């Protein structure tokens, strides 16, 4: 701080002391006045407390009063809060006994040990909410129907339409898909994320054609069985509307919902597909 700024700080402190003296002389009694009466006066304050204020984020927990925003509503303390690193720095331990020093060390070590224990417990024991999320999705509770997806894609980021390693195991297929990404791989991941299919092997997937690496398509079509909002019909129950009976539903009859009541397949998939792949209908 410059000499002028320091003089202004001292002037403001003396003005505050004058207001406190006036209130004390008037005989006013209040809790807040009792708190400020014990504060050191301007002449009793050390330069560090006059020109700097406590800050938890600043270096050595101190920053200049000129860095405090003018619009702040918090008053600038005249002393460093107790229990902070800056406040403990001047604590005199020379007269403490051995037992008192050991007790003080244990007191200072306990908060860190408690935080470490809590963090380990949180890591090892997942919450009930996370456990519920990890529960497997039961596709048998929902009806399935066959649909045709019309989609378009820009093919230059992909190694063709067809998924790589269709005859390989799941781990080998995953490694092949990571090394050679395909349009079908992205489509199956979006379908699985939306819980529309359990996996690509059991959904009866078929396509009308295929493209090579770097080739785009504007009207590709694929057919597959997906989860539906339809409901299972009881044995002997009659219903008005479209009814389907396929092996994916265990031979049970399903009443298909109206077009406006079905799942919004296109919007669901487009939210989980990369921007270069879009489902049109």
- Which pLDDT tens digit goes with each residue over 221-230? 999 999 999 8
Lookup: tokens for 77: 């303390």
For 2, 20, 78, 109, 118, the CA distances from 9, given in Å and listed in that order, are 11, 17, 12, 39, 45
- Gyration radius of the chain's alpha carbons: 36
Query: pLDDT tens digits, residue range 173-189?
Result: 778 888 889 999 999 99
Q: How many CB atoms lie within 10 A of CB 158?
A: 23
Does the active-site annotation cover 212?
Answer: yes
pLDDT score at 82: 52
pLDDT bucket at 94, cuts 50 / 70 / 90:
confident
> How confident is residue 168, by pLDDT bands cut at 50, 70 and 90?
very low
Backbone angles phi, psi at 218, to 5 degrees: -110, -10
For 14-73, the pLDDT digits (tens) are: 888 888 888 888 888 887 777 777 778 888 888 877 888 777 777 777 777 777 766 554
- Which pLDDT value is given to residue 109? 73
Mean pLDDT over the full length of the chain: 79
84 pLDDT above the threshold of 60: no
Whether the CB-CB separation of 254 and 232 falls below 8 Å is answered with yes
0.75 surpassed by pTM: no
User: Residue 281: is its pLDDT beyond 90?
Assistant: yes
Which entry of 21, 92, 212, 234 is annotated as an active-site residue? 212
Q: Distance between CA 239 and CA 241 in Å, rounded?
A: 6
Q: Taken in order 70, 71, 75, 76, is the CA torsion positive or negative?
A: negative
* For range 235-250, the mean pLDDT: 79
DSSP 66: G
Q: Number of helices and strands (H, E) in the chain?
A: 9, 9
């Amino acid at each position: 701080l410059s000499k002028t700024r320091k003089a202004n700080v001292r002037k403001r402190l003396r003005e505050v002391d004058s207001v406190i003296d006036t209130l004390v002389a008037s005989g006013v009694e209040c809790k807040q006045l009792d708190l400020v009466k014990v504060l050191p006066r301007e002449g009793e304050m050390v330069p560090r407390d006059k020109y700097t204020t406590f800050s938890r984020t600043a270096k050595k927990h101190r920053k200049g009063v000129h860095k405090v925003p003018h619009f702040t509503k918090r008053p600038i303390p005249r002393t460093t809060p107790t229990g902070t690193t800056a406040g403990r720095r001047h604590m005199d331990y020379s007269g403490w006994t051995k037992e008192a020093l050991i007790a003080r060390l244990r007191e200072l070590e306990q908060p860190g040990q408690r935080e470490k224990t809590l963090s380990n417990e949180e890591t090892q024991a997942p919450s009930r909410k996370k456990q519920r999320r990890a529960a497997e999705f039961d596709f048998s509770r929902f009806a399935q129907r066959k649909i045709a997806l019309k989609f378009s894609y820009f093919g230059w980021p992909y190694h063709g339409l067809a998924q790589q390693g269709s005859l390989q195991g799941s781990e080998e297929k995953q490694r092949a898909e990571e090394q050679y990404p395909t349009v079908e791989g992205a489509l199956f991941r979006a379908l699985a994320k939306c819980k529309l299919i359990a996996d690509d092997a059991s959904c009866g997937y078929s396509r009308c054609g295929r493209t090579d690496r770097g080739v785009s398509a504007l009207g590709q079509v694929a057919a597959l069985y997906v989860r539906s909002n339809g409901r299972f019909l009881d044995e002997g129950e009659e219903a008005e509307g479209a009814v389907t009976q396929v092996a994916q539903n265990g031979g049970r009859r399903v009443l298909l919902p109206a077009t406006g009541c079905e799942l919004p397949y296109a919007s669901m998939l487009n939210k989980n597909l990369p921007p270069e792949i879009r489902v049109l209908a």
